[in-house]
């Protein structure tokens, strides 16, 4: 979740969310903040605030005019008020009951601009009683906390009335949900992964269940741990729901009356559940606890080490430690990769230790390293026992064992494209040992799947993928796929959902459904790689801009933290889903280079191309 790549030791703990002690001060009909040092200062809606600043809303002052009421209400939406109680004080009784702030959060490029609508343009004769809120949409966060990029104009109205008894102005008509500027959203909300189990995907080699990250946005200063538990119990977001499952029985929620969850001094979290979970068995309970533990792992600086689930009567259902959870399910790849790989100047596959940049690359054992077959690209299986190589001209795909002395055999796939750019892409292995590759032949462009890297290729259906696939990277979970798609001379990054449909007596049908753009601001995407459970590193450029490298979330949002250090002439990029490991890139100027946390790019070899991690 954090954008910075960390050192190679220890478990990843970005400590993205925390409770910060601070106080608020009055800003006229608005919000205020108290920094850790310095004078009290008002909080504007637009400038990005320090993440450790708490913002408190203030109620409307006596005899405040309509413009001040509208502005005060908008400011109150950006505060850390858990139930928006202060914001509700700007509303009439009826509007207060009808307004649902949890319906959605609309994110605008800048704070919404309220403008009074002249009375001559509307039916109402009340002066200054109607205000239009306008702006440019950036994203929408729905009731499931799911983020989605958005665009276009935002135009909504807020109507005010003067109360008969007190003569105070209050809002009696307003849009559902919450609206705020991008900088306020970044200060108020944080992205955290929920975890579910991949459905229709076999268990890993150690019998562990595969987990799938489901990123959502929650309010950072408003008890995020309890928000995340409730969100997890309600189930996966709509996009991910068809390919994952939860171990919690339908209808499971926190026990009535539970207001807040927090770890004790041993980093143990106790979660009381309602009656829906009273009769689950021990095996199911431990799977439930593993989901919770993975979800809560990064919510505190020191992590959550243990989870206890309780029945509705307060008795214990089960207890699960961090070590026990890793025996039940695996996050991402499970074990970190042992090596990084690339193609050397002799067009052979070589490797070097993933966590040590000082050792020189060595030929991989087997025909792809020791043989005479010249390659332009390769992919290594996630268990690092096999590799697939694309011939130097891009026309043939070979699969071989990474065992010294092993032979290569005939190509498993051929492309009829006339040029190397119209032939096979770099392949990608999923967590089940299946091999994915795209054939870019303009006469027959296809996305293909080879079971265990052999046999007749299965044509993957992608009915709504508009364009030709130029690059393929499958996530470790086997249910999400990243694709660079070319259309009308422009390359864009899409994330698709992999669905496997099996009917009795019929071959499995594999489809890529609901592909969504996750870097719409980049006009030209040239390279990408998975770089975490829900994060991708992308190389591309904006319209009229220069090449840049950045991280993006699979929901299209931008993770907190710095982008990778600048590197010119990047042709290919490789990252591990274990975020502690360095980035590896192929630069036209420097060859194969590596970037570890807190360092600059370091040259590995001048002559080398096509860097990859297993996967």
Q: Are 536 and 514 in contact (CB under 8 A)?
A: no
pLDDT of residue 536: 97
In total, how many domains does the chain have?
2
CA-wise closest residue to 47 among 129, 110, 106, 105? 110
Among 542, 543, 539, which residue's Cα sits nearest to residue 551? 539
Distance CA 235, CA 238 (A): 9
Return the pLDDT at 7: 36
* Alpha carbons 585 and 387: distance in angstroms, whole number: 19
Percent of the chain with pLDDT over 70: 88
Banded pLDDT at 25 (limits 50, 70, 90): very low
SS3 of 90-113: the string is CECHHHHHHCCCCCEEEEECCCCE
pLDDT at 26: 32
Measured CA to CA, the distance from residue 109 to residue 185 in angstroms comes to 10
Q: In this model, does residue 43 exceed pLDDT 70?
A: no
Check whether 258 has a pLDDT greater than 70: yes
Q: Which of 12-21, 152-161, 427-436, 550-559 shows the lowest mean pLDDT across its residues?
A: 12-21
Q: What is the CATH number of the domain that holds 54?
A: 3.10.450
The pLDDT score that the predictor gives to residue 53 is 64
Burial of 128 (0-12, 13-18, 19+ CB in 10 A): middle
Q: Are strands 548-553 and 446-450 parallel, antiparallel or unpaired?
A: unpaired
pLDDT digit string, tens, across residues 295-352: 998 888 888 999 999 999 999 999 999 999 989 998 766 678 999 999 999 999 999 9
Q: Is 555 exposed, middle or buried (0-12, 13-18, 19+ CB in 10 A)?
A: buried
Read off the pLDDT of residues 181-195 as tens digits, 9 standing for 90 and up: 999 999 999 999 999
How many helices and strands in the chain, by DSSP H and E? Answer: 8, 40
Residue that terminates a domain, selected from 188, 205, 224: 188
Residue 31 has pLDDT above 90, yes or no: no
Who has greater pLDDT, 125 or 469?
Answer: 469
Distance of alpha carbon 181 from alpha carbon 110, whole angstroms: 4
Residue 5's pLDDT is: 38
What does 118-144 look like in DSSP terms, one character per residue? PGGGSS---TT-EEEEEEEEEEEEETT
- pLDDT tens figures, 54-87: 677 899 999 999 999 999 999 999 999 999 999 9
Task: Give the pLDDT confidence of 461-472 residue by residue, as tens digits.
Answer: 999 999 999 999
Residue-wise pLDDT tens digits, 378-424: 999 999 999 999 999 999 999 999 999 999 999 999 999 999 999 99
- Domain-embedded: residue 49: yes
pLDDT digits (tens, 9 = 90+) for 126-174: 556 999 999 999 999 999 999 999 999 999 999 999 999 999 999 999 9
Q: Which two tokens stand for residue 590?
A: 């420097």
Region label for 303, one of left (φ > 0), alpha (ψ between -120 and 50) or beta (otherwise): left
pLDDT at residue 11 in the model: 38
pLDDT at 485: 97
On whether residue 311 sits in a domain, the answer given is no
What does pLDDT average to over the chain?
Answer: 88
With bands split at pLDDT 50, 70 and 90, how would you rate the model's confidence at 52?
A: low
Q: Is residue 286 part of a domain?
A: no
Q: Does residue 8 carry a pLDDT above 50? A: no
Which CATH number goes with the domain that contains 581?
2.120.10.30
Instruction: Give me the domain span that covers residue 361.
Output: 339-612
221, 54 Cβ separation under 8 angstroms: yes
pLDDT score at 557: 95
Mean pLDDT to the nearest integer, 510-534 = 94
3-state secondary structure of 289: helix
pTM: 0.88
CA distances from 492 to 46, 489, 524 (A): 30, 10, 6
For residue 329, is it within any domain?
no
In the chain, the percentage of residues whose pLDDT exceeds 90 is 76
pLDDT of 570 over the 90 cut: yes
CA distance 43 to 30: 8
Residue 371 lies in a domain: yes
- pLDDT value at position 195? 97
The verdict on residue 562 lying in a domain is yes
Residue 45 reports pLDDT greater than 70:
no
Question: Could you give phi then psi for residue 337, rounded to 5 degrees?
Answer: -65, 150
- Encoding tokens for residue 4? 């910075």
Inform me whether the pLDDT recorded for 223 exceeds 90: yes
Q: Of 188, 206, 232, which closes a domain?
A: 188
- CB-based burial label for 13 (10 Å; 0-12, 13-18, 19+): middle
337's tokens: 């990769």
Cα distances (angstroms) measured from residue 178 to each of 104, 108, 343, 556? 6, 11, 51, 20
Encode pLDDT of 83-115 as tens digits. 999 999 999 999 999 999 999 999 999 999 999
Instruction: Look at residue 249 and tell me if it is in a domain.
Output: no
State the pLDDT at residue 21: 33
Q: Is residue 66 part of a domain?
A: yes
Task: Decide which of 128, 162, 188 is a domain's last residue.
Answer: 188
């Amino acid at each position: 979740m954090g954008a910075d790549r960390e050192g190679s030791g220890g478990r990843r703990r970005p400590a993205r969310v925390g409770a910060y002690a601070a106080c608020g001060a009055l800003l006229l009909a608005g919000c205020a903040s108290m920094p850790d040092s310095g004078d009290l200062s008002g909080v504007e809606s637009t400038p990005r605030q320090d993440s450790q600043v708490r913002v408190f809303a203030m109620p409307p002052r006596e005899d405040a005019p309509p413009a001040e009421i509208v502005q005060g209400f908008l400011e109150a939406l950006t505060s850390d008020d858990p139930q928006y109680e202060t914001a509700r004080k700007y509303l009439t009784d009826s509007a207060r009951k009808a307004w649902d702030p949890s319906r959605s959060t609309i994110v605008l490029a800048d704070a919404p601009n309220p403008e009074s609508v002249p009375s001559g343009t509307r039916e109402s004769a009340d002066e200054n009683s109607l205000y239009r809120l306008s702006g440019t949409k950036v994203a929408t966060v729905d009731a499931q906390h799911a983020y989605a990029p958005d665009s276009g104009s935002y135009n909504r109205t807020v109507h005010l009335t003067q109360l008969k008894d007190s003569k105070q102005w209050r809002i009696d008509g307003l849009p559902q949900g919450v609206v705020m500027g991008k900088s306020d959203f970044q200060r108020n909300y944080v992205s955290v992964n929920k975890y579910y189990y991949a459905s229709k995907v076999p268990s890993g080699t150690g019998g562990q269940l595969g987990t799938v990250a489901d990123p959502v946005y929650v309010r950072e200063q408003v008890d995020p741990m309890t928000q995340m538990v409730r969100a997890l119990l309600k189930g996966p977001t709509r996009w991910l729901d068809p390919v994952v499952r939860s171990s919690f029985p339908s209808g499971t929620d926190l026990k009535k009356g539970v207001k807040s969850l927090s770890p004790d001094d041993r980093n143990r979290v106790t979660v009381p559940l309602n009656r829906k979970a009273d009769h689950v068995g021990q095996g199911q309970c431990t799977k439930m606890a593993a989901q919770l533990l993975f979800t809560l792992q990064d919510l505190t600086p020191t992590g959550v080490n243990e989870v206890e689930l309780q029945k509705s009567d307060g008795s214990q259902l089960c207890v699960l430690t961090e070590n026990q959870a890793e025996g039940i399910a695996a996050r991402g790849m499970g074990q970190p990769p042992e090596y990084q790989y690339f193609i050397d100047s002799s067009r052979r596959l070589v490797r070097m230790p993933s966590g040590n940049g000082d050792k020189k690359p060595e030929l991989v054992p087997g025909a792809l390293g020791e043989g005479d077959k010249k390659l332009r690209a390769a992919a290594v299986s996630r268990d690092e026992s096999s590799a697939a190589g694309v011939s130097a001209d891009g026309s043939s795909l070979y699969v071989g064992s990474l065992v010294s002395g092993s032979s290569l055999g005939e190509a498993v796939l051929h492309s009829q494209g006339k040029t190397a750019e119209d032939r096979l892409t770099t392949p990608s292995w999923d967590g089940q040992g299946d091999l994915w590759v795209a054939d870019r032949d303009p006469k027959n462009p296809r996305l293909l799947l080879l079971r265990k890297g052999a046999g007749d290729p299965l044509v993957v259906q992608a009915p709504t993928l508009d364009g030709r696939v130029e690059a393929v990277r499958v996530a470790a979970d086997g249910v999400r796929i990243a694709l660079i798609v070319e259309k009308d001379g422009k390359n864009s990054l899409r994330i698709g959902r992999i669905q496997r449909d099996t009917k009795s007596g019929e071959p499995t049908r594999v489809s890529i459904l609901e592909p969504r753009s996750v870097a719409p601001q980049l006009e030209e995407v040239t390279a990408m790689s998975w770089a975490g459970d829900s994060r991708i590193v992308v190389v591309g450029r904006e319209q009229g801009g220069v090449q840049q490298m950045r991280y993006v979330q699979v929901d299209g949002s931008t993770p907190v933290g710095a982008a990778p250090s600048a590197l010119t002439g990047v042709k290919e990029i490789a990252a591990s889903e274990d975020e502690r490991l360095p980035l590896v890139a192929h630069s036209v100027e420097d060859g194969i280079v590596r970037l570890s946390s807190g360092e600059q790019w370091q040259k590995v070899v001048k002559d080398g191309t096509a860097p990859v991690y297993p996967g």
